[in-house]
Amino acid sequence: MNRETLLRRRIKLLTWCFIAGLVFSGTTALPLVTELDWMVQVSGARQLVESAGTTNAPAWAQNAAASPAPAG
């Protein structure tokens, strides 16, 4: 197999990989809500969010929540 044939095969393979990547990226252009729901189901993130935290909020956040809003 000569160098030109090998180069043509590589170019053809890479071109098809690029085309497949474009097709795949187009098929994954789903609405954001659908993608996020799928990721939550796959990762089990809902259980992490619904479970109680093991640490308290930082003191500055607790103080900010307890203080009245500034006038103005």
pLDDT tens sequence across 6-58: 999 999 999 999 988 888 777 666 567 777 788 788 887 777 666 666 667 67
39 contacts 45 by C-beta, under 8 angstroms: yes
Tell if the pTM clears 0.75, that is, is over it: no
Q: Is 15 exposed, middle or buried (0-12, 13-18, 19+ CB in 10 A)?
A: exposed
In the block, tokens 């956040």 appear at 61
